[in-house]
């Protein structure tokens, strides 16, 4: 089997890389942090000193990095993927980053005869560990067909959205819906709680009707149980909403409620919640209500 590379072995990347090892691939891995690399080495991965060495050994290189500048560095720094990769190889970026930068990265790699797919995911740590991620792909159909068997080891709902960058556009749309639903669930539960109503019963009743959603189910429970750690960190959702607002500005699309929800994340971050799960958005609504879910009326 061909050598496969994986760069970025954090909360998401480590279990995703693990699935590729279990499928029998020789995996060449790199992360700037040592601990997850050592863990994957124990599972049979080959550790590389930099992204260039990963690319020198791989026909397909996966990236799962935090943000746009991290992907740019891993690809184009002097010790990056582009300096080691052979023509005919494929880069698959599974990070959630800027659609505009993604298109520029794909064009730059194409000059070296290298194809790129953007393949951001939804489903969180649970989806990464259970190989049930939703994967939104941008790139050429024939490249997608080549890479699909690998993606099937990491996810279930795998959709080719369009050309380079369109997977990232889809992910941005996903994050708008998730953020605004978190905000709606927060308002509903804080109102119910301050009214003195049993919020657990409210959630249970709403789950059977039109207000049902995965966010109400999973994150509504986290808000009620005050289980804000670990999860999808506020700092990552702030990054994603920045991408949405930036795209909106460039395209002339007003996103008023995305902007407002970003302000609520800023309030949570200002109180030290930047690494809490994004369901902690409820804390901003609680602050304005002077009431925390489960507390006495007027408590916070
Ligand atoms: P993370 O911070 O846990 O992991 C990122 C890893 O990349 C870290 O181990 C870091 O050391 C490494 N890294 C950073 N720069 C590097 C470089 N230049 N070279 C090599 N390694 C480098 O982040 P995560 O939670 O795994 O998220 C990764 C991406 O997936 C993000 O874009 C995020 O928005 C997206 N995402 C995350 C979740 C989630 O629930 N955590 C869900 C869906 C999508």
| pLDDT at residue 299 greater than cutoff 70 | no
* Of the candidates 44, 56, 54, 62, the residue with the CA atom closest to the CA atom of residue 147: 62
* Average pLDDT of span 264-273: 98
Asked if 252 and 215 touch (Cβ cutoff 8 Å), the reply is: no
Asked if 22 and 1 touch (Cβ cutoff 8 Å), the reply is: no
65 Cβ below 6 A of ligand 1: yes
Residue closest via CA to ligand 1's atom 15 equals 70
Distance 61 CA to ligand 1 centre (A): 15
> Relative to the CA of 231, which ligand 1 atom is closest?
40
Close Cβ partners of 64 (under 8 Å, ≥ 6 residues apart): 6, 7, 8, 9, 10, 12, 13, 16, 17, 94, 95
Query: What predicted TM-score, i.e. pTM, was given to this entire model?
Result: 0.94
CA-based radius of gyration for the chain: 21
Q: Which residues of 115-137 are buried (b: 16+ CB within 10 A; e: fewer)?
A: bbbbbbbbbbeebbbebebbbbb
Instruction: Report the alpha-carbon distance of residue 59 to residue 44 in Å, rounded.
Output: 18
Position 214 scores a pLDDT of 94
pLDDT tens for 77-108 read 999 999 999 999 999 999 999 999 999 999 99
> Relative to the CA of 133, which ligand 1 atom is closest?
43
| pLDDT at residue 128 greater than cutoff 70 | yes
Token duo for residue 142: 């024939």
In the 8-state DSSP scheme, what is residue 273? I
169-289 to CATH, choices 1.10.1040.10, 1.10.3720.10, 1.10.340.30, 2.40.400.10:
1.10.1040.10
241 Cβ below 6 A of ligand 1: no
Position 1 scores a pLDDT of 54
From 5, 6, 11, give the residue whose CB has the most ligand 1 atoms within 8 Å, as the site to mutate: 11
From 6, 9, 12, 33, give the residue whose CB has the most ligand 1 atoms within 8 Å, as the site to mutate: 12
Position 230 scores a pLDDT of 76
Catalytic residues: 171
Asked if 51 and 74 touch (Cβ cutoff 8 Å), the reply is: yes
Domain boundaries, given as residue ranges, for the chain: 3-163, 169-289
* Of the candidates 155, 172, 161, 157, the residue with the CA atom closest to the CA atom of residue 137: 161
Position 298 scores a pLDDT of 46
232 Cβ below 6 A of ligand 1: yes
pLDDT tens for 213-255 read 999 999 999 999 999 987 899 999 999 999 999 999 999 999 9
276 Cβ below 6 A of ligand 1: no
Position 296 scores a pLDDT of 60
Distance 96 CA to ligand 1 centre (A): 9
DSSP alpha helix (H) spans, 43-153: 51-56, 68-76, 99-110, 124-130, 141-151
In the 8-state DSSP scheme, what is residue 86? P
> Relative to the CA of 122, which ligand 1 atom is closest?
43
Fold of 3-163: Rossmann fold (3.40.50)
* Of the candidates 67, 126, 56, the residue with the CA atom closest to the CA atom of residue 93: 67
pLDDT tens for 36-72 read 899 999 999 999 999 999 999 999 999 999 999 999 9
From 7, 8, 15, give the residue whose CB has the most ligand 1 atoms within 8 Å, as the site to mutate: 8
**Structure confidence at residue 35 as a pLDDT band (50, 70, 90):** confident
Distance 124 CA to ligand 1 centre (A): 11
pLDDT tens for 138-178 read 999 999 999 999 999 999 999 999 999 999 999 999 999 99
Q: What's the chain's average pLDDT? A: 96
| pLDDT at residue 300 greater than cutoff 90 | no
Position 297 scores a pLDDT of 52
């Amino acid at each position: 089997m061909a050598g496969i590379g994986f760069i970025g072995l954090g909360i998401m990347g480590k279990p995703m890389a693990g699935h590729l090892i279990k499928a029998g691939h020789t995996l060449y891995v790199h992360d700037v942090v040592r601990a997850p690399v050592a863990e994957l080495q124990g599972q049979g991965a080959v550790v590389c000193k930099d992204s260039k060495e990963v690319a020198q050994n791989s026909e397909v290189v996966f990236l799962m990095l935090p943000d746009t500048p991290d992907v740019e560095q891993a690809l184009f720094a002097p010790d990056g993927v582009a300096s080691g990769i052979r023509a005919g190889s494929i880069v698959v970026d599974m990070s959630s980053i800027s659609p505009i930068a993604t298109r520029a990265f794909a064009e730059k790699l194409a000059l070296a005869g290298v194809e790129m797919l953007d393949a951001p995911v939804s489903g969180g740590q649970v989806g990464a560990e259970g190989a049930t991620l939703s994967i939104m792909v941008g790139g050429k159909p024939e490249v997608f067909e080549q890479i699909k068997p690998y993606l099937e080891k990491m996810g279930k709902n795998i959709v080719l959205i369009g050309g380079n960058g369109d997977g990232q556009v889809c992910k941005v749309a996903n994050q708008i819906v998730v953020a605004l639903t978190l905000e709606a669930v927060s308002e509903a539960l804080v109102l119910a709680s301050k009214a003195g109503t049993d919020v657990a019963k409210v959630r249970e009743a709403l789950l059977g009707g039109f207000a049902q959603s995965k966010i109400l189910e999973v994150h509504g429970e986290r808000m009620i149980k005050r289980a804000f750690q670990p999860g999808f960190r506020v700092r990552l959702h702030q990054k994603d909403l920045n991408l949405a607002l930036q795209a909106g500005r460039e395209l002339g699309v007003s996103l008023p409620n995305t902007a407002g929800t970003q302000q609520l994340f800023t309030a949570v971050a200002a109180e030290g919640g930047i690494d809490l799960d994004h369901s902690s958005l409820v804390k901003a609504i609680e602050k304005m209500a002077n009431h925390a879910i489960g507390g006495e009326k007027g408590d916070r």
